[in-house]
């Protein structure tokens, strides 16, 4: 029988990985919390229609990457490939429009059937924020600023570039779509099969193609910003002015698009050159038509998502495990007392390791293995005198401390 392995494209978050993962999540949670974002959690699976309606029938995610199955009740279910659709569904099904504007933060696993490589997994994890009910440029600026602050707090902002574009309003996109389709039809035979399929239904998606032949054609395509209405141009100018006022640098990338009709105005990505092919670490945009398209009330929205694995790799931080206090009973008589002392210290907020068996030498070896900051030695003599021997595991020095004053004596080891 072959040895068991994790499914391709998944990985275990062992303690060191989990600390790196949690560092990203906890940092983001703290930063966006200062902006007023509150944490929510949606199910990791939804009815498939939620994603088909929001991601579009021609998107790679829907056509190639979704994990979809029929459950035992005969319902078609999909593991979530991204967070925004589930949050929009929760907004509608929860009747939350009356409470807008709303600021949400979430973190958790997502699922896409992709070719695994560095920074791209089939089960991956994201942090995500969504601002619902705000249609003004100031909302775009604040959402982007929150992303920049998260990157700054992780120590990686200077390793990224903010790429910015506008998708304009409906009138702008209609005008641009017409000239883009006309241009692409002139190169129809050179387009990839996927791009030819998208030409009529979702031509803007072609601008995001990774096919080399497509990219050569796209390089000469008309530029979206040439077809903006005055109102859409003013909106983009106000977003840029807000970023300038905050000192957030950016470069305008006219090829940065979101292909679905409910996206509008601002699209942005924080990218890096330090992770190989998977260079996008945070991506977002405005989606004013999404909730209405899903059957909810007209509600503007904007948000972003960041890959936790990529952010952890980029940050390169190895958060240390918390150093415990080892409680070391010497002899069977002391074990019961040690158990009570360990429980008491844990309730007081200390991390405590209690060896389960062995003589003094073996238990001290365990204390070293868990990198204990201090050890409390308890033997018959100590118990009679109502003290414990406190050994500093770094210096090796030790002193007797009264049992009724342990919390004070250990204050330096929190």
**What is the per-residue pLDDT across 325-368, written as a single tens digit (0 to 9) for each?**
999 999 888 999 999 999 999 999 999 999 888 888 999 999 99
Phi-psi region of 270 (alpha: psi -120 to 50; beta: other; left: phi over 0): beta
CA distance 286 to 130: 10
Q: How far apart are CA 139 and CA 35, in angstroms?
A: 11
Confidence (pLDDT) at 204: 83
Given this model, what pLDDT does residue 358 score?
86
Which pLDDT score is estimated for 55? 75
pLDDT at 264: 92
Structure tokens at 74: 């005969």
From-to residues of CATH 3.30.930.10 in the chain: 15-169+229-315
CATH 3.40.50.800-classified regions of the chain: 325-413
Question: Residue 160 in 3-state DSSP?
Answer: coil
What architecture is domain 325-413?
3-Layer(aba) Sandwich (3.40)
Are the CB atoms for 73 and 63 separated by under 8 Å?
no
What pLDDT does residue 262 have?
82
**Per-residue pLDDT at 59:** 59
Structure tokens at 49: 């229609």
Write out residues in the chain with pLDDT < 70, as ranges. Answer: 1-2, 56-63, 119, 259, 261
Q: Can you give the pLDDT at residue 225?
A: 86
Strand locations in 17-159, DSSP E? 38-39, 45-47, 68-70, 76-79, 102-111, 123-132
Span 5-43, pLDDT tens digits: 988 999 999 999 999 999 999 999 999 999 999 999 999
The answer for residues whose C-beta is within 8 angstroms of residue 344's C-beta and 6 or more apart is 406
User: Do 173 and 161 form a contact (C-beta atoms < 8 A)?
Assistant: no
DSSP 3-state assignment of 123? strand
CATH superfamily of 15-169+229-315: Bira Bifunctional Protein; Domain 2 (3.30.930.10)
């Amino acid at each position: 029988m072959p040895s068991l392995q994790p499914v391709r494209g998944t990985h275990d978050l062992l303690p060191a990985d989990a600390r790196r993962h949690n560092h990203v999540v906890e940092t983001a949670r703290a930063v966006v919390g200062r902006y007023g974002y509150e944490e929510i959690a949606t199910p990791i699976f939804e009815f498939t229609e939620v994603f088909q309606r929001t991601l579009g029938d021609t998107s790679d995610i829907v056509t190639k990457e979704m994990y979809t199955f029929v459950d035992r009740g005969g319902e078609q279910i999909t593991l979530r490939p991204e967070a925004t659709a589930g949050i929009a569904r929760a907004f509608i099904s929860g009747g939350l429009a009356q409470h807008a504007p709303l600021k949400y933060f979430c973190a958790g696993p997502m699922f896409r059937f992709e070719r695994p490589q560095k920074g791209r997994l089939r089960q991956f994890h994201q942090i995500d924020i969504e601002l619902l009910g705000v249609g003004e440029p100031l909302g775009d600026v604040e959402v982007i600023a929150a992303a920049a602050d998260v990157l700054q707090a992780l120590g990686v902002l200077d390793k990224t570039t903010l790429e910015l574009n506008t998708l304009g309003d409906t009138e702008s996109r209609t005008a641009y779509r017409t000239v883009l389709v006309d241009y692409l039809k002139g190169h129809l035979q050179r387009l990839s099969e996927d791009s030819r399929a998208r030409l009529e239904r979702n031509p803007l998606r072609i601008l995001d193609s990774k096919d080399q032949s497509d990219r050569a054609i796209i390089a000469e395509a008309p530029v979206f910003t040439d077809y903006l209405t005055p109102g859409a141009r003013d909106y983009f100018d106000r977003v840029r002015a807000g970023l300038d006022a905050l000192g957030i640098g950016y470069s305008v990338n006219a090829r940065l698009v979101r292909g679905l009709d409910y996206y509008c105005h601002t699209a942005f990505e924080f990218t890096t050159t330090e992770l190989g092919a998977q260079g996008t670490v945070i991506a977002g945009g405005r989606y004013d038509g999404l909730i209405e398209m899903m059957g909810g009330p007209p509600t503007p929205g904007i948000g972003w998502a960041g890959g936790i694995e990529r952010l952890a790799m980029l940050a390169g931080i190895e958060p240390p495990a918390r150093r415990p206090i080892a409680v070391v009973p010497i002899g069977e008589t002391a074990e019961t007392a040690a158990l009570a002392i360990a429980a008491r210290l844990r309730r007081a907020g200390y991390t405590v390791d209690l060896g389960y068996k062995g003589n003094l030498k073996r238990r001290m070896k365990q204390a070293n293995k868990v990198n204990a900051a201090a050890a409390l030695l308890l033997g018959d003599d100590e118990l009679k005198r109502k003290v414990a021997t406190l050994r500093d595991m770094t210096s090796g020095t030790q002193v007797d401390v009264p049992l009724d004053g342990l919390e004070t004596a250990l204050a330096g080891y929190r």
